[in-house]
Chains A and B, each alone.
Chain A
């Protein structure tokens, strides 16, 4: 069966520090991968999605970036965090023939 992992689960970082969040999927190959951000009590905002290695689309212009160095690995990064980057970050995957997305457990990021 397929599983999706995210780490770290919780992160507290000062303003101006770098960020790296990692997401990996097991049990499937060539998935579509997604990064979302969710502010407290709000809906989901799609940040990036990827249909393959080094094939990434950005949905929101900001100081975040994403990379997909391997088929089942998706990384969210920032060179310098802003206070507004605080939130809950969710990674998701979908199969080539499926239309639903499956989510990881999320990372709670607090920028201080």
Chain B
């Protein structure tokens, strides 16, 4: 069975600093996609970044970047120059290429402190 594990239930970071959120997954598939979603206090779920497993280059979106280690089945999210608006729950999610469903981690609650 495919699983997604986020081992850090809570994290905090000072404004303007960098923080890395961890995610590991387990799958026997070779074609799959990984995502990080952000859920701020409004509870709107927002897609932050996506990574295709066949791409070796790590995805980046402005201050957000990933460290995708396919052999280790690791997919961490780095947030640079943290801002107060980054305070949110962050969810890691996995989708096998032939599956319409996402497999979700339990989330990491990130607090950015002023």
Give chain A's interface residues, CB within 8 Å of chain B.
32, 38, 42-44, 46, 49, 51, 59, 88, 90, 92, 94, 99-103, 105-106, 108
Contact = CB atoms under 8 A, between A and B. Distances in A.
Contacts, number: 42
Main secondary structure on chain B at its contact with chain A?
loop
A36 B34 CA distance: 19
Contact of A100 (B35, B106, B107): B35
B106 A99 contact: no
Given A46-B102, A100-B33, 7 more contacts: A43-B91, A90-B45, A99-B33, A99-B50, A99-B95, A101-B102, A106-B43
Most chain B CB within a 10 A radius of its CB, from A32, A49, A90, A101:
A101
Given A43-B107, A44-B91, A46-B101, A103 B33 contact: no
B104 A43 contact: yes
B44 interface: yes
Interface string B78-112: 00000000000001000101001110111100000
Interface residues of B, number: 19
A43 B45 contact: no
A12 to B, nearest CB: 17
Given A43-B106, A49-B100, A51-B100, A103 B95 contact: no
A99 B45 CA distance: 16
26 contacts: A32-B100, A38-B43, A43-B106, A43-B107, A44-B91, A46-B101, A46-B102, A49-B100, A49-B101, A51-B100, A59-B101, A88-B43, A90-B45, A92-B45, A94-B100, A99-B50, A100-B33, A100-B35, A100-B50, A101-B47, A103-B45, A103-B46, A105-B42, A105-B43, A106-B43, A108-B43
